[in-house]
Amino acid sequence: MAARSLLCRGVGVFQLSTKTPLLSASRCCSQTEPEPLTLRQENNGIRRIILNNPKKRNALSLSMLDSLRENILTDVDNEGLRVIIISARGPVFSSGHDLKELTSAQGREFHTKVFDTCTKVMTLIQDVPVPVIAMVNGVATAAGCQLVASCDIVVATERSTFGTPGVNVGLFCSTPAVAIGRAVPRKVVMEMLLTGTPISAQDALLHGLISKVVPEQRLEEETLAIARRVCETSRAVVTLGKATFQRQMALGRDAAYSTASKVMVDNLALRDGQEGIRAFLEKRRPVWSHKTEKAHD
C-alpha cells in the first residue's frame, strides 16, 4: 500500500494509508527537498523507524544520527507507544559512520561530536521506556552493527551479515565493541574486531548478537508478531522490567539479585502487577491500565 511522506528536518513521517495523511508534503517543503534520512510510521502502539538513505548504505552520518534520535524520542512517554522497530531500506541495514565525516578536514571537535551523538543514540535505545526491535535484512557493519547490538531484540534474515571492519581502514571499532562486546562472547568479538571478517546471521544467532533468523519473506511477519505480543502486556510492567534488566546487568551477582528483588516487590505494588495476578487466578484476560499507579504501598 502506498505511503505518503511528511518531510521535515531530515525526518519523514508516513502512514500505512494515504486516505488520512498527516500533512501534505507540499505544505512542509518544496519538491526539491531531499529524501528524509529516516521515515516514521506509528500504528496500534508500534512505531516503525526506517533508515532511508540506501544510496549511502544508510551510513550513520551526524544528520542520520540526529534524525534517528528525534524519531525515537518523539512522544516516547505517550502511553500509547508500546514498541519501536528499526529497519532500513536497501540491501545494507547500515554501513556505520560516514567516513567522509571522519577525515582531518572535519577536525577533532566535529569528530568528538559525531561519537558523542552516536553514544547518545545507542544508550537512548537501551534507556527508552519501551522495547526496541531491530529488523535486519542485509549488511550491518561497524556502528551499524553497534546499532543492532544496542537493540533489545533483533530479527534478521538469512542473508544478513554482521561485522566490525574498521581495522581494515585504520579505524578500530572501539565504540561498536562496547555494545557488541556486551552481547557476544569476548573471543568471538575480538576475532571480529581484529580481523574485520563478518559473521553470518546463523553465527550471529549462535553467539547471541541477534534473537532470531528467518527467511526474507517472513521477516516483517515475524518481527510484527513479536511487537504485537509486547503490545498485549502492560507498558508499566515492561518499562520497569527493561530498566531493571539494563541496570542489573552492570552489577555483580549479589548486587544484581538485591536490585532485582527490590524491583520485584515494587512490581507487585503496581496496579497492573496485581491485576495480572488476579486475572490469572480468575482465569480471565487482564485489563491493563499501562500506568504506574500503585495498588498498595
Q: Which CATH architecture has domain 233-282?
A: Orthogonal Bundle (1.10)
What average pLDDT does the segment 27-50 reach? 83
Per-residue confidence (pLDDT) for residue 297, from 0 to 100: 84
Q: Where does the pLDDT of residue 34 fall: very low under 50, low under 70, confident under 90, or very high at 90 and above? A: confident
Per-residue confidence (pLDDT) for residue 12, from 0 to 100: 55
Phi, psi of 79 (to 5 degrees): -65, -20
In the chain, list all ranges with CATH 1.10.12.10.
233-282
Per-residue confidence (pLDDT) for residue 31, from 0 to 100: 59
What average pLDDT does the segment 66-73 reach? 98
Q: Answer yes or no: is pLDDT of 14 > 90.
A: no
What average pLDDT does the segment 268-287 reach? 97
Q: Answer yes or no: is pLDDT of 93 > 50.
A: yes
Output 135 or 24, whichever has higher pLDDT.
Answer: 135
Q: Quote the DSSP letter at residue 57.
A: T
Q: Answer yes or no: is pLDDT of 243 > 70.
A: yes
Q: Please, is 262 exposed, middle or buried when counting C-beta atoms within 10 Å of its C-beta (0-12, 13-18, 19+)?
A: exposed
**Cα three-residue angle 35-83-116, rounded to 5 degrees:** 60
Contacts of 283 (CB under 8 A, 6+ apart): none
Fold of 38-231: 2-enoyl-CoA Hydratase; Chain A, domain 1 (3.90.226)
Q: Where does the pLDDT of residue 4 fall: very low under 50, low under 70, confident under 90, or very high at 90 and above? A: very low
Per-residue confidence (pLDDT) for residue 19, from 0 to 100: 33
Mean pLDDT of the chain: 91
What average pLDDT does the segment 122-130 reach? 98
Per-residue confidence (pLDDT) for residue 33, from 0 to 100: 75
Q: Where does the pLDDT of residue 103 fall: very low under 50, low under 70, confident under 90, or very high at 90 and above? A: very high
In the chain, list all ranges with CATH 3.90.226.10.
38-231
Q: Answer yes or no: is pLDDT of 28 > 80.
A: no
- At 163 the three-state DSSP class reads strand
